[in-house]
Chains A and B, each alone.
Chain A
Amino acid sequence: MSNEKGRILKISVLKYNPQVKEDKPKIVTYELEEAPGMTLFIALNEIRQHQDNSLKFDFVCRAGICGSCSMLINGKPGLACRALTSKMDADITLAPLPVFELIGDLSVFTGKWMSGMNDRLETWIHEKEEEEKACSCDTIEETMDPDLSDEIYELDRCIECGCCVAGCGTIVMRENFVGAVGLNKIARYAIDPRDKREDADYYDLIGDEDGIFGCMSLMGCEDVCPKDLPLQSKIAYMRRKMVAMKDK
């Protein structure tokens, strides 16, 4: 195995701590030697450990599963833990995801935004009142078509990373826009027979400019979704449904 020296990476980070009154946003550049298999997770932790103890960022699973580490990587939203440095130029710029509340440096409060969106769109199974009460968990579960459950899972794979929100043109103009993430959630419940809501109910949630009619179908979202969700076709699906409602 080779012991050759790796490239010298220059990682420029937009640093700012809004908690500290005097602090102003600034770009700080760190240099470090690249190691085989290095990801931005490894690189940023090394920087924090050896060069800048105060550097703030969020990693949890470090495996591309939990959606914590989204940031602007060379200007494009993406998961930092999955970004192999070997696939990038030696000059890398990192900035926090826009739109979301900044905690400090690369750490943003996506959780708060997502939680608000979930509350607003009521992203849970709405059972019929009477069903809800009966605990029927001793009896055999209801069947579901195997293809349908696969299809639901396909949309359920969203990890609420916020990349689609950060990559969306509408959000810049309409701060209450639910984003592709929100529209996808409604699409997910709309195909789930366990959710007893009807199109009219979904219309109440997304039938306006902050919902489906705010989306300009520019598809910035699908390009950046790290889970490759079929956002384009699902947004189109919901739009057709909601247009039909509007015309009713």
Chain B
Amino acid sequence: MKITYTDVLVVGGGLAGLRAATGVKERGHDCILLTLVPPKRSHSAAAQGGMQASLGNSIKGEGDNEDVHFEDTVKGSDWGCDQKVARIFTNTAPKAIRQLAQWGVPWTRVRRGDREVVINAKKVTITEKDEAHGLINARDFGGTKKWRTCYTSDGTGHSMLFAMDNKAHEDKIEVRERMEAMAIIHENGRCYGAVARNLMTGELVAYIAKSTIIATGGYGRIYKVSTNAVICQGMGQAIALETGVATLGNMEAIQFHPTAIVPVGILTTEGCRGDGGLLTDVDGYRFMPDYEPEKKELASRDVVSRRMVEHMRKGKGVKSRYGDHLWLDITILGREHIEKNLREVKEICESFLGIDPAVDPIPVRPTQHYSMGGIRTDYRGESQTMKGLFSCGEAACWDMHGFNRLGGNSVAETVVSGMLVAEYVSDYCESKDSDIDLHISVIESFLNKEKEKLNFLIKPKEKAEDAYELRAKMEDIMMDDVGIFRNGEDLQKAVTELEELLVRSKNIVVKCKTLTANPELFNAYRTQRMLKLALCVALGALQRTESRGAHSREDYPERNDKDFLNRTITTWKNENDTLPTISYEEINIDEMELPPGFRGYGKDMTITNPKSEKRQNEVDKIKEKLEDEGKDRFEIQEALMPFRDMLPDVYQGKNERLYEKFTKDVK
């Protein structure tokens, strides 16, 4: 039996995991990081577009600050997010990006003087100020009031991830590559680490830690076509769910990105539209202004995706053997711009479509892209129901995205939540609460259980099932019945069919019998777990009889603040259950800084909650009074929804900007 002890176990080597690991290490805690792939190959590398942080350096970002970013984020979430968390996040994003700049990210910088950009299909000249020259630049992204998305050409995620991994090398983080976390070790509501499997040798190891951070990314691969990397299978959420104690939040909140290429689903970044690219239909007609006259192509992602499907349903899609699609036209941006700022897009078009995007339009359609749901945590990143279990990044439901996340807010979230959770975890590790008092027999039983499960998978069975087949069925069901537009009938069918698949998956037989490196074996146990997650998504979607953000019910088109201004909480109570258990956590309107309102797309179909108006009046009154008293924006915010004390001391400072400097510290 192999047991390794450490202070903090980090599962996941993407941006979130690496940032958390370096954070706890710098606070003096030992740390081991497990990852399926070398950290630099994590899915974070694929983020092309950018990171939102309200620096306000560029002329089109002037006047931006935490308040504007907060408002965009809350509206984007369709009021489903935790507003305190959104505040914590928008406060810390500028710090995170500046820190990353120190650590080597070559952010694209502002250049003084005139620059030609494309806004609303027209070439416009903007003039950057002298004093902004050389500061971090930003581009336009959907759902934001200001140009706030900072970027490195078109390789933002790549250069952030490389800088983070290099930092981890500097900090001597112990990284264990090709180690898969298989089960969370826990007893009496306390997490003690995880059982992991070496994907090369098959060896099982128990990692025992004071606290465990799950940063394993999203679960997009339960869908047939996804922009996600093939390893985004939600295994972190699944093993948390399998404890029967930890909970998942908002699993049905799935984002579809408007512009993935057809058929393979590789993403072309939102930067294409941010920089001025257009969506056109079979007639070459630009249709978005008809649906969203104000924001057009740059409406929120969920909105654009739905409009595209609506338009295709009207017969305006381009027919192909892979189904209908639309065009993304970036030819207007010109070759020079494409080759410099959208080079990754150009490479993708050349390599996977054999076209030149400076000349040809790109075939695109909405495709599964982001998992808003995840391991439900409090603002400190700790599970609400299991001590010592933390989560951050896309794996978590922290919850700053609610039912729709804004482009560029995700890589920002990974580093911000990583740096904050590292502090809270360190505090926990330094408290008595984190002492480990666990009998060795408990560890042994968790190890044995995993061993037995693997042995059972290779054992011959009477009604042998094939994991690849079950998985393909699941992917189809999710795509067809739990997609962009949902309805009760399809969802019910999906739940029933997925439940059957889950039952059948108990009889999976792995034909290749080796317990060492064996792709068929890991596909088998991951399929079993993905089926559970798929059920959480489908059942959550079935029971949420309203439309909010990315969750869109054709039979319940209204956002229902009366009954559903809440978070879906999912558990898997007993190992032999074939369905998850769902409950709801209320979102308290009385504490909101920004009470629920109209998001501003299409026509307002909200079933309002009477509390919203009451709170709005309160907020207006407080604002008016304090403004009259001459209070500044920080004091007014503080009076509405205090959050600063929730932050670790080191991150409580105010962010300076070109036109906003502070003489003394806030604290």
A residues at B contact (CB < 8 Å): 1, 17, 19-20, 36-37, 39, 42, 48-49, 53-56, 58-68, 82, 84, 86, 103-104, 107, 109-112, 114-115, 118-119, 122-125, 127, 135-146, 149-150, 152-153, 156-157, 159-160, 192, 194-195
Report yes or no: B351 in contact with A82, Cβ–Cβ below 8 A: yes
Q: Complex formed: what's the CA distance from A17 to B41 in Å?
A: 23
Report yes or no: B230 in contact with A124, Cβ–Cβ below 8 A: no
Q: Which residues of B contact A143 (CB under 8 A)?
A: 109, 133-135
Q: Complex formed: what's the CA distance from A153 to B158 in Å?
A: 10
A-B contact pairs, 15 of them (CB 8 A): A17-B517, A53-B519, A54-B512, A58-B37, A61-B41, A66-B40, A66-B43, A68-B37, A112-B177, A119-B169, A143-B133, A150-B340, A152-B106, A153-B108, A160-B40
Q: Which residues of B contact A68 (CB under 8 A)?
A: 37, 41
- In the complex, B405 has a CB within 8 A of chain A: no
Report yes or no: B135 in contact with A19, Cβ–Cβ below 8 A: no
Q: Which one of A19, A64, A137 contacts B347 once the chains associate, using CB atoms below 8 Å?
A: A64
Q: Complex formed: what's the CA distance from A117 to B656 in Å?
A: 38
Q: Which one of B97, B158, B200 contacts A65 once the chains associate, using CB atoms below 8 Å?
A: B158
Which of the 9-residue segments B60-68, B427-435, B499-507, B647-655 touches chain A?
Answer: B647-655
On whether A153 and B656 interact (CB within 8 A), knowing A37-B352, A60-B43, A146-B134, the answer reads no
A27 CB to nearest B CB, Å: 19
Report yes or no: B111 in contact with A19, Cβ–Cβ below 8 A: no
Q: Which one of A56, A67, A146 contacts B40 once the chains associate, using CB atoms below 8 Å?
A: A67
Q: Which one of B41, B134, B175, B654 contacts A67 once the chains associate, using CB atoms below 8 Å?
A: B41
Q: Which residues of A contact B106 (CB under 8 A)?
A: 144, 149-150, 152-153, 156, 192
Report yes or no: B650 in contact with A135, Cβ–Cβ below 8 A: yes
Which of the 9-residue segments B159-167, B543-551, B577-585 touches chain A?
Answer: B159-167
On whether A127 and B177 interact (CB within 8 A), knowing A54-B519, A82-B351, A146-B108, the answer reads no
Q: Complex formed: what's the CA distance from A159 to B161 in Å?
A: 11
Number of A-B residue pairs having CB atoms within 8 Å of each other in the complex: 208
Query: Residue of A at shortest CB range from B353?
Result: A37
Query: Residue of A at shortest CB range from B227?
Result: A63
- A-B pairs with lowest CB-CB distance, top 8: A143-B134, A111-B38, A53-B520, A138-B653, A1-B321, A124-B166, A152-B106, A146-B109
Interface residues as binary, B498-535 with A (CB distance below 8 Å gives 1, 0 otherwise): 00000000000011101011111000000000000000
A190 CB to nearest B CB, Å: 13
Q: Complex formed: what's the CA distance from A170 to B582 in Å?
A: 61
Report yes or no: A115 in contact with B169, Cβ–Cβ below 8 A: yes
Range of interface residues on B (Cβ < 8 Å): 35 or more
Interface residues as binary, B249-275 with A (CB distance below 8 Å gives 1, 0 otherwise): 000000000000001101100000000
- Which of A20, A103, A125, A136 is packed against the most chain B CB atoms within 10 Å? A125
Q: Complex formed: what's the CA distance from A166 to B45 in Å?
A: 23
Q: Which residues of A contact B352 (CB under 8 A)?
A: 37, 39, 63, 82, 84
A175 CB to nearest B CB, Å: 20
Report yes or no: B229 in contact with A115, Cβ–Cβ below 8 A: no
Report yes or no: B43 in contact with A61, Cβ–Cβ below 8 A: yes
B residues at A contact (CB < 8 Å): 37-38, 40-43, 45-46, 55, 94-99, 101-104, 106-111, 133-137, 152-153, 155, 158-159, 162, 165-167, 169-170, 175, 177-178, 200-201, 229-231, 263-264, 266-267, 319-321, 340, 344, 347-348, 351-354, 468, 510-512, 514, 516-520, 650, 653-658
Q: Complex formed: what's the CA distance from A159 to B344 in Å?
A: 13
Task: Using A1-B319, A139-B98 as known contacts, list a sample of 17 further A-B pairs with CB atoms less than 8 Å apart, ordered by residue number in A.
Answer: A19-B514, A56-B519, A61-B229, A61-B230, A66-B229, A103-B200, A109-B177, A111-B177, A118-B166, A135-B99, A137-B94, A140-B98, A149-B152, A150-B106, A150-B340, A156-B158, A160-B40
Query: Residue of A at shortest CB range from B111?
Result: A146
Q: Which residues of A contact B133 (CB under 8 A)?
A: 143, 146
On whether A84 and B354 interact (CB within 8 A), knowing A62-B229, A115-B38, A143-B135, the answer reads yes
Q: Complex formed: what's the CA distance from A111 to B41 in Å?
A: 9
A104 CB to nearest B CB, Å: 5
Report yes or no: B101 in contact with A55, Cβ–Cβ below 8 A: no
Q: Which residues of B contact A194 (CB under 8 A)?
A: 102, 104
Report yes or no: A53 in contact with B511, Cβ–Cβ below 8 A: yes
Report yes or no: A54 in contact with B518, Cβ–Cβ below 8 A: yes
Report yes or no: A48 in contact with B43, Cβ–Cβ below 8 A: no
Q: Which residues of B contact A145 (CB under 8 A)?
A: 109, 134
Q: Which residues of B contact A55 (CB under 8 A)?
A: 519
Q: Complex formed: what's the CA distance from A111 to B654 in Å?
A: 40
Q: Which residues of B contact A146 (CB under 8 A)?
A: 108-111, 133-134, 137
Report yes or no: B517 in contact with A157, Cβ–Cβ below 8 A: no
Report yes or no: B170 in contact with A124, Cβ–Cβ below 8 A: yes
Report yes or no: B170 in contact with A19, Cβ–Cβ below 8 A: no
On whether A142 and B177 interact (CB within 8 A), knowing A60-B37, A115-B169, the answer reads no
Q: Complex formed: what's the CA distance from A222 to B351 in Å?
A: 19
A236 CB to nearest B CB, Å: 22
On whether A139 and B38 interact (CB within 8 A), knowing A61-B45, A66-B46, A156-B162, the answer reads no
Q: Complex formed: what's the CA distance from A111 to B650 in Å?
A: 34
Q: Complex formed: what's the CA distance from A61 to B230 in Å?
A: 6
On whether A37 and B344 interact (CB within 8 A), knowing A112-B177, A115-B169, the answer reads no
Q: Complex formed: what's the CA distance from A70 to B101 in Å?
A: 30
Q: Which one of A61, A124, A150 contacts B103 once the chains associate, using CB atoms below 8 Å?
A: A124
Q: Which residues of B contact A53 (CB under 8 A)?
A: 510-512, 519-520
Q: Complex formed: what's the CA distance from A149 to B510 in Å?
A: 51
Q: Which residues of A contact B166 (CB under 8 A)?
A: 118, 123-125
Q: Which residues of B contact A125 (CB under 8 A)?
A: 102-104, 166
Q: Which one of B41, B169, B514 contacts A60 once the chains associate, using CB atoms below 8 Å?
A: B41
Q: Which residues of A contact B101 (CB under 8 A)?
A: 141-142
Report yes or no: A37 in contact with B264, Cβ–Cβ below 8 A: yes
Q: Complex formed: what's the CA distance from A149 to B153 in Å?
A: 10
Q: Which residues of A contact B104 (CB under 8 A)?
A: 124-125, 192, 194-195
Q: Which residues of A contact B654 (CB under 8 A)?
A: 138
Query: Residue of A at shortest CB range from B510?
Result: A53
B449 CB to nearest A CB, Å: 24
Q: Which residues of B contact A142 (CB under 8 A)?
A: 101
Q: Complex formed: what's the CA distance from A124 to B175 in Å?
A: 17
Q: Complex formed: what's the CA distance from A53 to B43 in Å?
A: 25
Report yes or no: A62 in contact with B230, Cβ–Cβ below 8 A: yes
Q: Which residues of B contact A19 (CB under 8 A)?
A: 200-201, 514, 516-517
Q: Which residues of A contact B263 (CB under 8 A)?
A: 37
- Which of B201, B266, B519 is packed against the most chain A CB atoms within 10 Å? B519
On whether A36 and B43 interact (CB within 8 A), knowing A125-B102, A146-B108, A146-B110, the answer reads no
A103 CB to nearest B CB, Å: 5
Query: Residue of A at shortest CB range from B48?
Result: A65
Q: Complex formed: what's the CA distance from A54 to B518 in Å?
A: 6
Report yes or no: B517 in contact with A110, Cβ–Cβ below 8 A: no
Q: Which one of B175, B344, B655 contacts A138 once the chains associate, using CB atoms below 8 Å?
A: B655
Q: Complex formed: what's the CA distance from A187 to B55 in Å?
A: 30
Q: Which residues of B contact A156 (CB under 8 A)?
A: 106, 152, 155, 158-159, 162
- Which of B42, B170, B653, B655 is packed against the most chain A CB atoms within 10 Å? B170
Report yes or no: A65 in contact with B516, Cβ–Cβ below 8 A: no
A83 CB to nearest B CB, Å: 9
Query: Residue of A at shortest CB range from B199?
Result: A103
Query: Residue of A at shortest CB range from B319?
Result: A1
Report yes or no: A157 in contact with B155, Cβ–Cβ below 8 A: yes
Query: Residue of A at shortest CB range from B516?
Result: A19
Q: Complex formed: what's the CA distance from A89 to B106 in Å?
A: 41
Q: Which residues of A contact B42 (CB under 8 A)?
A: 60, 66
Report yes or no: A65 in contact with B45, Cβ–Cβ below 8 A: yes
Q: Complex formed: what's the CA distance from A37 to B352 in Å?
A: 7
On whether A114 and B517 interact (CB within 8 A), knowing A103-B200, A125-B104, A153-B152, the answer reads no
